[in-house]
């Protein structure tokens, strides 16, 4: 496969993630959209690394994968806590932080 095909695939994946992030209300779908966008950035970094013949892009991609794993743990724990307290995963129901800023 040529690098152009990888660039196109990464662009399509990022676009799908962006549409999912903007159009959905479910926290799980929002999380998966963010993960899809980060994975497309990793694909771009690995492709640039291969094209340029430099390993720094691959190293950064591995670091991003570690950050994605830590983010997954925190985000899923946050979703579980929100579901236990309010019995929903709809993002429209979670405006407590915004109310705290308006009252300050």
Mean pLDDT for all residues in the chain = 84
Classify domain 3-98 by CATH number.
1.10.287.3510
DSSP string, the chain: --HHHHHHHHHHHHHHHHHHHHH--BHHHHHHHHHHHHHHHHHHHHHHHHHHT-SHHHHHHHHHHHHHHHHHHHHHHHHHHHHHHHS--BGGG--HHHHHHHH-
State yes or no: pLDDT of 12 exceeds 70: yes
State yes or no: pLDDT of 2 exceeds 50: yes
pTM of the model: 0.76
């Amino acid at each position: 496969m040529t690098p152009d095909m990888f660039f196109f695939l990464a662009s399509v994946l990022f676009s799908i993630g962006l549409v999912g992030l903007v159009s959905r209300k479910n926290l799980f779908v929002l999380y998966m959209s963010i993960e899809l966008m980060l994975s497309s950035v990793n694909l771009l970094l690995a492709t640039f690394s291969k094209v340029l013949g430099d390993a720094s892009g691959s190293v950064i991609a591995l670091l991003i994968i570690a950050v994605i794993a830590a983010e997954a743990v925190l985000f899923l724990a946050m979703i579980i806590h929100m579901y236990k307290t309010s019995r929903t995963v709809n993002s429209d129901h979670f405006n407590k932080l915004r109310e705290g800023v308006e009252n300050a």
